Amino acid sequence: MNLKLRLTIVSFLQFFVWGAWLITIGVYWFGTKQWGGEEFGKVFATLGIASIIMPALTGIIADRWINAERLYGILHILYGITLFFLPQITTPENFFWVMLIAMMFYMPTISLSNSIAYYILKNNNFDVVKVFPPIRVWGTIGFIAAMWITNLSGNKDSGNQFYIAAVFAIILGIYAFTLPKCPPQNLISKDATLSEKLGLNAFSLLKDYKMALFFLFSLFLGAALQLTNMYGDTYLSDFGKIPEYAESFVVKRSTLIMSISQISETLFILAIPFFLKKYGIKNVMLISMFAWVLRFGLFAYGVPVGLGLGMIILSCIVYGMAFDFFNISGSLFVETTTDYKIRSSAQGLFMMMTNGFGAIMGSLASGWMIQKYFTHANGDKMWHEIWLVFSVYALVVAVLFAIMFKHKHNPEDVADLKH
């Protein structure tokens, strides 16, 4: 089996084991369990808490002590085992703690999978800019496949979604041990400082003004990255409370509609090399931020029929550009601007800011805001106003980024990834 195919399988399963429940957990939480919105925000904050602690830590371990592919496999097996407990839980408090453990195992595997792919591809003389996006696109296809399986099998409101993810996570963990070896790259000299020995030197990147700004805006945009994953399926399902929309395809197959977002990703991921080389990393990230403004704004005016349906579908199409243009270009920015000895740690730091502090801020703030200001006495949510607030937030972040972040486009930075 050739290397690109083996990495494609890893990418597919990496996001399959997340997509099986990430979009539909809201329906399970609000519909089946009848648990509250503020508690739901806390559960989604587990993604952020885990991303603060684990990616940088596992990046340090992979940089210094353990082969990255072995660590990756162990984490996925433990993630799968933990997921098996979730359907048995009867209180939101216990659900929070078990989900937190699961996320401690899963979240660092996202940045680790990037580091593993980059290492294997470079070590075998592949052009990472050209080869990695087509491999990564299969991660999105895996996410879509998992969403469809969960919905079409009738499990979008069932705890079985966690069992589906668990089985494939363990399979992926076992498969990871067959990958080419990715040994630690950062050899420790006798004269190394304590900070260097612990791998904490990646945090020195924050001393650089441009890098500090990059990570700051990663945090602000990270607050928006999971909002439609948190509430999108629930938003579409809630149209079922309106008689004229109750039997619509949008309501009954809301997860399939939401999967258009991931289908869109497959197209925009493939377009990333062109956009990076032509417009540069800053402009690609800026395009992503304005795409988030459209993503939320179009949802605000969507309904399951007519022009409103077109807005929902267009919002899902825009999502591909919004999500991947920042995540992939941000990851490549880190790859081209950091020393090879700390790249795993730096990738972990990027993940910490987006899916860590950013996700916590977005999850807790949105859960509190929606429950306090945008929920009627009967529990119905004011979705139009909710999406408009999110859209304005994204607009403010985009304008500030355009003004404050200075980065001159240098095609050679992208070309360097070939080596």
Q: Residue 153 has what pLDDT?
A: 92
Q: Residue 88 has what pLDDT?
A: 94
| Residue 48: pLDDT over 90 | no
Mean pLDDT, residues 243-258 taken together: 90
Highest mean pLDDT among 119-133, 255-269, 295-309 belongs to 295-309
pTM: 0.77
Q: What is the mean pLDDT of the chain?
A: 86
Rounded Cα gap, residues 123 and 126, in angstroms:
8
Mean pLDDT, residues 209-234 taken together: 87
Do the Cβ atoms of 76 and 109 come closer than 8 Å? yes
- Give me the residue label for tokens 């690609």: 284
The band of 102, judged by pLDDT with boundaries at 50, 70 and 90, is very high
The band of 54, judged by pLDDT with boundaries at 50, 70 and 90, is confident
Q: Please spell the DSSP secondary structure of 90-128, one letter per residue.
A: -SHHHHHHHHHHHHHHHHHHHHHHHHHHHHHHHHTT--H
Q: Report which DSSP code applies to 356.
A: I
Rg of the chain over CA atoms, in angstroms? Answer: 21
Q: Residue 194 has what pLDDT?
A: 59
The band of 417, judged by pLDDT with boundaries at 50, 70 and 90, is very low
Do the Cβ atoms of 255 and 264 come closer than 8 Å? no
The band of 418, judged by pLDDT with boundaries at 50, 70 and 90, is very low
Who has greater pLDDT, 275 or 16? 16
- What residue ranges define each of the domains in the chain, with the CATH number in brackets? 3-183+205-418 (1.20.1250.20)
- Among 144, 126, 128, smallest CA distance to 23 is for 144
Question: CB count, 10 Å around CB of 141?
Answer: 19
Q: How far is CA 196 from CA 191, 201, 202, 206, 351, in A?
A: 10, 5, 9, 15, 20
